[in-house]
């Protein structure tokens, strides 16, 4: 008997399938996998996909935004805040609507985060070519603007026939729900094919409930990993984002405590362990705490869990001394990095199996007592230092710097801000937040420091608010990132998704200015004051007026005391709030930190550059290859 079929357009079938998808979360709850579709309509999606989304708007809500990059970043943030277990989709018109999403796709690719991208595409028939917004290749007839997605997604397909959906859509879902391949998927949808009907089998629309695979370690790899760990006397755990995505926070805390191993956190992994865990040394690497980096230099075995070992976490491979590296990662590509010994597995299962193998009870293996003790002291000293750094009053007549702002934002909550989610991505703030922010719950630190995409902050906060409606989602953002993309502030007001945006206005690209000067360069083209042409006027950006113009409530705080009061009011408000404060770009937290490889010119007229180059060569000599 032939299967029952239903005649639908390709777009209708796509939407129906997405609306039907369910996922069983790790805690056993079954929920819709795709929470909604962000859409800016135009030609290439309004007639086809638009009609289909309207019909299913109850089951699969559609949300309008103001910039395709912004809405795609919101979708990615939603997935991140859901620990990769739920997604949002994004649909665009052809041409600029689509290519606006390429940056967001790259951000998701780098951060291993899922998002389903559905750009409209040119006609499969090619009858009306060239259509509005179509690029024309002289060499290849099958190239469209959407080919820009190929290098920045984990799965790409162009559906030139409606029945291809039967294969392409499940495959895209499979790639996004596999923890090893997780990342963005793009299905480019020619506008005529979206509107074309096909007799789809009914059973296609009853997809199996999804589950995220949690692979256990291979027994032989586990045995090798245990053998290596047992040789260690001074081990250190580097906790990356994979700990959060595997729900391995408790396993990590237990593992560290049982075996006396200090833990350091990457930007992606921060909040995996509560800030006040006795063995949490805090941030590692370029923005690392003094204790974390000191112990990293002396460690004999590094257990890198769920981390890509990006340069900021390894001080460009100059941080880990002579330590042996054990890579516990669900993705073999990462587990094998830097000549490490690989343990390919889910982070939680991997840690649990390692702990079993190291021996429970009195006979269990543990790090040297002196090493563990040293870690406890470092952690305690750093907690006290963070309190001091974030509560010191700004010197009279000076502008505050980021640490003081961070302290005021934190202390503006009545009790310990356990439910605050802080969102950030680029500028001075990631380094300061990595060092100084206190996260007590997994996911309360929401940072894109994989792509460090200016403009992620406000858009990302919107997505995080969708995922964590009960939380106070607080964006901390520099003036530069705010100006680069703020359109989704208007979306947050429109959709009633309240966020609090704290703008630190130091009047320019402060972190890059410091990097420029540190590299021997002259102050040039970064701070607004350095960019005024002959006879030009100083720049006058009024962030309060701007934010009000977009529909948010906004105030300027004259100092940190006013900021704290403004934050209290902002927390009590229902609509999106913007609080602006002038800061200095001259001060940063001097404690900790490590080298970062930035290539310095080999020849230059500037003596400062020549000095920086000599220092550069010296540091490069410590880099492990
Ligand atoms: C889209 C994008 N363009 C450029 C950069 C390079 N970049 C990193 S931080 C930065 C300046 C950020 O300025 P601001 O947000 O004001 O922060 P500040 O450093 O002044 O605290 C730039 C240009 C980037 N990360 N992302
Ligand atoms: Mg700035």
| Ligand 2 center from residue 550 Cα (angstroms) | 21
Calculate how far, in angstroms, residue 586's C-alpha sits from the geometric centre of ligand 2.
11
Please tell me the predicted confidence (pLDDT) of residue 360: 72
CA-nearest of 86, 87, 431, 111 to 242 is 111
Tell me the sheet residues that pair with 455.
Answer: none
Which of 100, 104, 480, 587 best tests ligand 1's pocket when mutated (most atoms within 8 Å of CB)?
480
Whether ligand 1 lies within 6 angstroms of the CB of 65 is answered as no
- What is the rounded CA–CA span in Å between residue 94 and residue 118? 10
The yes-or-no verdict on residue 415 having pLDDT over 90 is no
Neighbours of ion ligand 2 (CB under 5 A): 478-480, 506, 510
- The pLDDT confidence band at residue 412, using thresholds 50, 70 and 90, is very high
H or E, element range at 225: helix 219-231
Q: Does the Cβ of 450 fall within 6 Å of ligand 1?
A: no
pLDDT of residue 416: 57
Q: Which residues have a Cβ under 8 Å from the Cβ of 29 and sit 6 or more positions away?
A: none
Question: Which atom of ligand 1 lies at the shortest distance from residue 504's CA?
Answer: 21
pLDDT tops 60 at residue 402: yes
- Note the pLDDT tens digit of each residue in 179-236: 999 999 999 999 999 999 999 999 999 999 999 999 999 999 999 999 999 999 999 9
Q: What is the pLDDT, as a whole number, of residue 321?
A: 87
Q: What is the pLDDT of residue 362?
A: 65
Residue 509 CB–ligand 1 contact under 6 Å:
yes
> Which residues, other chains included, contact 93 with Cβ-Cβ below 8 Å and sequence gap of 6+?
40, 41, 42, 43, 44, 45, 46, 119, 120, 133
Atom of ligand 1 nearest to the CA of 477: 15
Any atom of ligand 1 within 6 Å of the Cβ of 479: yes
pLDDT of residue 233: 98
pLDDT digits (tens, 9 = 90+) for 489-545: 999 999 999 999 999 999 999 999 999 999 999 999 999 999 999 999 988 899 999
Residue 419: pLDDT band (50, 70, 90) is confident
The predicted pLDDT at position 590 comes to 97
Instruction: Kindly report the protein residue whose alpha carbon is nearest to atom 9 of ligand 1.
Output: 427
Q: How far is the CA of 482 from the centre of ligand 1 (A)?
A: 10
Any ligand 1 atom below 6 A from CB of 454 = yes
Atom of ligand 1 nearest to the CA of 478: 15
The answer, yes or no, to whether any atom of ligand 1 lies below 6 A from the CB of 428, is yes
**Four-residue CA torsion sign, 523, 527, 533, 537:** negative
Q: Does the Cβ of 110 fall within 6 Å of ligand 1? A: no
Per-residue pLDDT, 417: 62
Task: Answer yes or no: is the C-beta of 131 below 6 A from any ligand 1 atom.
Answer: no
Cα(187) to centroid(ligand 1), Å = 31
581 Cα: distance to centroid of ligand 1 (angstroms): 18
Q: What is the rounded average pLDDT for all residues in the chain?
A: 97
pLDDT of residue 112: 98
- Kindly give the distance from the C-alpha atom of residue 481 to the centroid of ligand 1, in angstroms, as a whole number: 6
pLDDT of residue 53: 98
* 616 within ligand 1 shell (Cβ under 6 A): no
Grouping H, G, I as helix, E, B as strand and the rest as coil, residue 610 is helix
pLDDT at 418 over 90: no
Atom of ligand 1 at shortest distance to CA of 455? 1
**pTM > 0.85:** yes
**What Cα–Cα distance (Å) separates residue 325 from each residue in 298, 336, 369, 380, 391?**
13, 9, 21, 26, 38
The string of pLDDT tens digits covering residues 348-393 is 999 999 999 998 766 789 999 999 999 999 999 999 999 999 999 8
- Ligand with an atom nearest the CA of residue 110: 1
Higher pLDDT, 364 or 296: 296
Is the C-beta atom of 104 inside 6 A of ligand 1?
no
Per-residue pLDDT averaged across 105-129, rounded?
98
User: CA 369, CA 361: separation in Å to the nearest integer?
Assistant: 16
Residues whose CB falls within 8 Å of the CB of residue 13, separated by 6 or more in sequence, listed in order: 162, 165, 198, 200, 204, 205
The DSSP output letter for 597 is -
CB of 506 shorter than 6 A to ligand 1? yes
Per-residue confidence (pLDDT) for residue 381, from 0 to 100: 98
- For residue 299, the 8-state DSSP code is -
158 alpha carbon to ligand 2 midpoint, in Å? 41
Residue 12 makes CB contacts below 8 A (sequence gap 6+) with 51, 52, 55
Separation of CA 270 and ligand 2 centre (Å) = 24
């Amino acid at each position: 008997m032939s299967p029952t079929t239903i005649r639908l357009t390709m777009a209708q079938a796509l939407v129906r399938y997405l609306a039907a998808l369910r996922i069983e979360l790790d805690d056993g709850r079954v929920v819709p996998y795709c929470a909604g579709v962000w859409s800016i309509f135009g030609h290439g999606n309004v007639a086809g996909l638009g009609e289909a989304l309207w019909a299913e708007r109850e089951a699969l809500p559609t949300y309008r935004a103001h910039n395709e990059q912004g809405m795609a970043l919101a979708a990615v943030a939603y997935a991140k805040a859901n620990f990769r277990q739920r997604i949002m989709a994004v649909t665009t018109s052809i041409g600029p609507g689509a290519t606006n999403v390429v940056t967001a796709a790259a951000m998701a690719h780098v951060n291993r985060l899922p998002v389903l991208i559905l750009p409209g595409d040119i006609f499969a028939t090619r009858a009306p070519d060239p259509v509005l917004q179509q690029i024309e290749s002289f060499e290849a007839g099958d190239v469209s603007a959407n080919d820009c997605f190929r290098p920045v997604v984990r799965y790409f397909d162009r559906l030139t026939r409606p029945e291809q959906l039967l294969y392409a859509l499940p495959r895209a879902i499979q790639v996004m729900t596999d923890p090893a391949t997780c990342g963005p998927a793009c299905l480019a949808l020619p506008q005529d094919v979206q509107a074309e009907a096909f007799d789809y089998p009914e059973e296609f629309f009853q997809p199996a409930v999804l589950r995220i695979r949690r692979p256990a370690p291979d027994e032989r790899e586990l045995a090798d990993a245990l053998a290596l760990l047992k040789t260690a006397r001074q081990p250190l755990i580097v906790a990356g984002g994979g700990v959060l995505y595997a729900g391995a926070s408790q396993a990590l805390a237990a593992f560290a405590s049982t075996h006396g191993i200090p833990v350091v956190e990457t930007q992606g992994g921060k909040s995996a362990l509560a800030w006040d865990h006795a063995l949490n040394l805090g941030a590692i690497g370029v923005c690392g705490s003094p204790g974390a980096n000191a112990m990293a230099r002396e460690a004999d075995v590094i257990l890198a869990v769920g981390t890509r070992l990006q340069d900021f976490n390894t001080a460009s491979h100059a941080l880990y001394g002579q330590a042996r590296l054990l890579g516990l990662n669900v993705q073999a590509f990462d587990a094998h990095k830097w000549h490490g010994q690989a343990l390919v597995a889910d982070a939680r299962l991997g840690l649990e199996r390692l702990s079993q193998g190291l021996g429970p009870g009195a006979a269990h293996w543990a790090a040297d007592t002196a090493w563990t003790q040293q870690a406890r002291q470092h952690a305690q000293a750093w907690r006290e230092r963070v309190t001091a750094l974030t509560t010191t009053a700004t010197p009279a007549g000076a502008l505050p710097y980021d640490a003081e702002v961070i302290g005021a934002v934190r202390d503006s909550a009545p009790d310990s801000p356990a439910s605050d989610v802080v969102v950030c991505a680029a500028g001075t703030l990631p380094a300061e937040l990595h060092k100084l922010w206190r996260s007590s719950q997994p996911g309360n630190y929401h940072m894109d420091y994989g792509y460090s995409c200016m403009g992620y902050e406000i858009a990302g906060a919107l997505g995080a608010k969708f995922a964590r409606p009960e939380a106070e989602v607080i964006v901390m953002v520099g003036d530069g990132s705010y100006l680069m993309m703020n359109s989704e502030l208007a979306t947050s007001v429109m959709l009633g998704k309240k966020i609090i945006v704290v703008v630190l206005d130091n009047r320019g690209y402060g972190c890059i200015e410091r990097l420029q000067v540190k590299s021997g360069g002259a102050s040039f083209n970064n701070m607004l004051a350095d960019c005024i042409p002959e006879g030009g006027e100083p720049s006058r950006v009024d962030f309060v007026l701007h934010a009000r113009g977009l529909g948010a409530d906004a105030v300027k705080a004259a100092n940190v005391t006013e900021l704290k009061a403004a934050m209290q009011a902002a927390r009590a408000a229902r609509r999106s709030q913007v609080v602006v404060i002038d800061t200095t770009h001259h001060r940063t937290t001097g404690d900790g930190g490590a080298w970062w490889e930035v290539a310095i010119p080999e020849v230059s007229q500037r003596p400062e550059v020549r000095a920086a180059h000599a220092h550069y060569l010296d540091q490069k000599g410590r880099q492990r290859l």
